[in-house]
């Protein structure tokens, strides 16, 4: 329950931050206003003795989050990918949370496998290693199938993780409400919606069947993408708390020395990882949303291998077009068009001045494009854009949070491979190609065709709908007259559909 009892959890959180020395680090990173600082200190300092001490060998923020438990660790993982939000120093401290946490025992993992799959682990696997990676929600073991001897990765949820996570997230909701009350300027960030989104993402991670399904969909979408590969899911050895997939052999993406020793071209890899992300986000609207170095490898043939599909991003076609037009406008330095797109999408209130907004966007873009290629940053652009849209009353778009976060992560991966990469130059062909295919005569006709297919489902109901419109017209009012003509227009559309002309036209163009 999201009730007052969670205050105790928040007090312990504040006490832990104080005890570990992380309180000021966190408040400074988020540039917390005085009222919020006062509340945070009031929840922590007097009760410091209630806080967890954590591992003194860790940096303060990492020490506090690992001591507080799995949901805090996962939240720290998310923040570690947003140096544009929390600053470089804190992001570096939190990066250790990605896959280097203390594991639970192999015996416990085997017991979980037996409970999930109904057979002893030693019956299913001829080999079962100690943990090779441990994160906040699950850990991974390398194993070998008894039937066939294929090497596989076995992902196992931490025992009791569901209950522990629920307890922590309930406190997050209360914390979000406190932020809304004591930091009114943060309301546009929709902290409650952010926590709801975060909750939904991790609930998906707590059911490995959903991760397996996500991997399958992602594989189907990307099967023809050159230089990109995914390990196959072994469904017969997967369940809600256990997932088995092919073992991915390759060099870790974060090990430049090993990549060089294997003879791979880091410049090519840096450009390919960025292009692949944009391609998946724009073309498919379905993308890997946790593409840090720990989830990427380089195969012997040079392919980029992605794994860990617990966090996948989805954006609808309309939002993709808006996002692409904004990027395309910045690439062409067409700030007026970028401003118009924000207004057309309803991102900025209609009572604001579009020309003034365009000038503000120019102030965002021009300094960045004037930089050396090695300093051009999408992360910096998003940060500046965030500040400008706040001034013009734009609320945080929760559907774009994951997309924006992942773009920053992928940019970091690309820049770690090639510090001199020109992000915009690499992105331009992918964005331009998507714009040409999604905004043009053929795209308009395809949109009409999709609309027509939906409308045809209402065909059997058309006589009744028209009859209702005629009855309403017998006692007309301005609103009803407008409604009548809408129904007549709808009838005309159905007439067109009955003739099949639109369908034939689309088929001819396809």
The pLDDT of 47-60, averaged and rounded, is 81
Tell me: pLDDT of 31 over 70. no
Give the count of alpha carbons within 13 A of 144, CB side only.
5
**What is the rounded distance in angstroms from the CA atom of residue 299 to the CA atom of residue 193?**
39
- Banded model confidence at residue 399, pLDDT cuts 50, 70, 90: low
pLDDT at 30: 65
**What is the rounded distance in angstroms from the CA atom of residue 33 to the CA atom of residue 27?**
9
**In the beta sheet, which residues pair with residue 143?**
128, 152
The pLDDT of 62-75, averaged and rounded, is 83
Higher pLDDT, 264 or 393: 264
- Domain ranges within the chain, ordered by starting residue: 6-99+162-203, 250-439, 442-509
pLDDT at 376: 67
| Stretch among 2-16, 251-265, 327-341 having the lowest mean pLDDT | 2-16
Q: What is the per-residue DSSP string for 363-410?
A: HHHHHHHTS-GGG--HHHHHHHHHHHHHHTTPPP-HHHHHHHHHHHHH
Active site residues per annotation = 290
**What is the rounded distance in angstroms from the CA atom of residue 356 to the CA atom of residue 335?**
11
The CA distances from residue 440 to 17, 325, 446, in Å, are 54, 13, 10
Is the entire prediction scored with pTM above 0.95? no
The pLDDT of 135-147, averaged and rounded, is 91
* Helix, strand counts (H, E) of the chain: 24, 10
Containing 15, the helix (H) or strand (E) segment is: helix 6-19
pLDDT at 88: 65
Mean pLDDT of the chain: 80
Buried b (16+ CB within 10 A) or exposed e, 359-372: ebbeebbeebeeee
Tell me: pLDDT of 235 over 60. yes
**SS3 assignment, position 206:** coil
**What is the rounded distance in angstroms from the CA atom of residue 51 to the CA atom of residue 329?**
49
The pLDDT of 423-452, averaged and rounded, is 75
Tell me: pLDDT of 392 over 70. yes
- Banded model confidence at residue 98, pLDDT cuts 50, 70, 90: low
Containing 10, the helix (H) or strand (E) segment is: helix 6-19
pLDDT at 500: 47
The tens digit of pLDDT for each residue in 261-282 reads: 999 999 999 999 999 999 999 8
Cα distance from N-terminal residue to C-terminal residue, the chain: 53
The pLDDT of 348-375, averaged and rounded, is 82
pLDDT at 496: 46
Tell me: pLDDT of 348 over 90. no
pLDDT at 398: 59
DSSP state of 228: E
Higher pLDDT, 502 or 277: 277
pLDDT at 134: 84
Buried b (16+ CB within 10 A) or exposed e, 465-502: ebeebeebeeeeeeeeeebbeebeebeebbeebeeeeb
The tens digit of pLDDT for each residue in 455-496 reads: 666 666 666 666 676 666 566 555 555 555 555 555 555 554
| Stretch among 68-72, 317-321, 331-335, 436-440 having the lowest mean pLDDT | 436-440
pLDDT at 385: 72
Angle formed at CA 407 by CA 95 and CA 73, multiple of 5 degrees: 30
**What is the rounded distance in angstroms from the CA atom of residue 43 to the CA atom of residue 11?**
5
């Amino acid at each position: 329950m999201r009730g007052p009892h969670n205050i105790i959890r928040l007090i312990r959180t504040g006490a832990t931050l104080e005890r570990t020395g992380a309180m000021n680090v966190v408040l400074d990173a988020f540039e917390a206003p005085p009222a919020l600082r006062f509340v945070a200190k009031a929840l922590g300092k007097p009760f410091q003795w209630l806080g967890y001490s954590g591992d003194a060998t860790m940096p303060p923020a990492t020490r506090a989050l690992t001591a507080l438990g799995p949901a805090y660790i996962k939240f720290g993982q998310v923040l570690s990918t947003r140096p544009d939000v929390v600053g470089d120093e804190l992001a570096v401290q939190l990066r250790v949370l990605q896959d280097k946490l203390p594991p639970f025992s192999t015996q416990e993992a085997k017991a979980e496998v037996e409970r999930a799959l109904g057979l002893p682990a030693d019956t299913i696997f001829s080999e079962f290693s100690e943990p090779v990676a441990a994160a906040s929600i699950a850990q991974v073991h390398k194993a070998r199938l008894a039937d066939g001897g294929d090497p596989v990765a076995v992902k196992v949820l931490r025992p009791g993780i569901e209950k522990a996570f629920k307890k922590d997230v309930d406190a997050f909701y209360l914390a979000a409400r406190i932020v809304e009350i004591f930091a009114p300027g943060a309301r546009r960030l929709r902290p409650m919606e952010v926590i709801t989104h975060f909750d939904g993402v991790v609930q998906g991670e707590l059911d490995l069947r959903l991760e397996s399904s996500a991997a399958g969909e992602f594989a189907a979408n990307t099967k023809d993408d050159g230089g990109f590969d995914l390990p196959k899911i072994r469904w017969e050895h997967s369940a809600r708390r256990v997932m088995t997939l092919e073992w991915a052999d390759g060099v870790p993406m974060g090990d430049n020395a090993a990549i060089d020793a294997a003879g791979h071209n880091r410049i090519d890899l840096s450009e390919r990882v960025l292009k692949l992300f944009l391609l998946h986000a724009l073309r498919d609207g379905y993308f890997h949303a946790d593409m840090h170095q720990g989830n990427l490898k380089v195969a012997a043939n040079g392919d980029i291998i992605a794994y860990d599909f617990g966090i996948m991003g989805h954006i609808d076609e309309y939002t993709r077009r808006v996002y692409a037009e904004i990027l395309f406008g910045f690439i062409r330095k067409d700030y007026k068009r970028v401003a118009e797109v924000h207004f057309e999408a309803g991102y900025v209130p209609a009572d604001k001045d579009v020309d003034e907004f365009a000038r503000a966007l120019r102030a965002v873009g021009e300094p960045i494009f004037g930089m050396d290629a090695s300093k051009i940053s999408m992360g910096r652009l998003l940060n500046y854009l965030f500040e400008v849209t706040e001034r013009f009353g734009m609320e945080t778009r929760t559907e774009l949070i994951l997309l924006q976060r992942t773009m920053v992560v992928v940019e970091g991966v690309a820049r770690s491979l090639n510090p001199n990469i020109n992000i915009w130059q690499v992105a331009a062909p992918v964005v331009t190609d998507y714009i040409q295919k999604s905004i043009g005569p053929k795209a308009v006709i395809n949109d009409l065709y999709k609309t027509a297919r939906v409308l045809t489902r209402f065909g059997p109901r058309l006589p009744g709908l028209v009859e209702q419109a005629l009855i309403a017209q017998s006692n007309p009012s301005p609103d009803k007259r407008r409604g009548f003509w809408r129904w007549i227009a709808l009838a005309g559309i159905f007439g067109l559909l009955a003739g099949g002309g639109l369908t034939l036209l689309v088929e001819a163009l396809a």
